Chains A and B, each alone.
Chain A
């Protein structure tokens, strides 16, 4: 009881801190950092696009680690395997959300900047494939036969994770329509006056994503426990002998 109360308080504190950081990030992005000379105010889309793009390539690894944990524990320790499976589904849903937002914000930037909504270049195409793989992961979980869901999904998660480094390296391996990298050893760099907006939003959306994964994980655990209790009650009812 005390542990659950501490968890609840921590979750609320984390949520409030996250909202505060996101409000600061919004203020930095819209009101404080100067307008970029070439693109004007359209460039401010970048402050929401970049965090979702970066985090959309990190959360799949949470899914991968959880899926590998599920495969390892499924015969050795089924209870741990169920916990790993709950983390896998939570991280997969948040990955779909983040990669989807990355694609959507990119398209809303591309139309005024390039004059087109979409280009079949390497970065956009590999990111779309990543999103489709995780959508198919969730559909597989939704429609595959009970009892096999965890194993099938975990195997698909391993293949999905292979696309992540391809998405990341695509703008280095191929010359694409997508702008060249900004950060990193081969990055073009960014005017230091824009950095507060980048880092506040990166921190805020990272904290938000962690909160969503934790909340969705707790929900999935609650659903699993409710399912186990219902199965146990059904078993007990079937064992009762009529008087």
Chain B
């Protein structure tokens, strides 16, 4: 498989393959970003 065939949206199977890989990275990255945002928001009071 190549990048070109990976982003081939001609069939449902190909579309769903891209949705899975992009979706997983988005969700995992989103949760990490939310945690990092709150980490910065709540300053350590004893630091």
Contact = CB atoms under 8 A, between A and B. Distances in A.
Are A and B co-members of a single complex? yes
B10 to A, nearest CB: 12
A39 B12 CA distance: 13
B22 to A, nearest CB: 11
Assign chain A's interface to a size class. Answer: 35 or more
Interface in B13-47: 13-14, 16-17, 19-21, 23-24, 27-28, 31-32, 35-36, 38-39, 42-46
A219 B24 contact: no
Given A97-B28, A208-B28, A30 B21 contact: yes
Interface stretch (A106-114, A131-139, A156-164): A106-114
Interface string A90-113: 000110010011001100110110
Interface residues of B, number: 28
Contacts of B46: 225, 229
Interface in A1-55: 26, 30-31, 35, 39-42, 44-45, 48-49, 52
A105 B19 CA distance: 9
B42 to A, nearest CB: 5
Contact of B35 (A42, A101, A215, A230): A215
Contacts of A45: 16-17, 20
B45 A229 contact: yes
Interface of B: 1-2, 5-6, 11-14, 16-17, 19-21, 23-24, 27-28, 31-32, 35-36, 38-39, 42-46
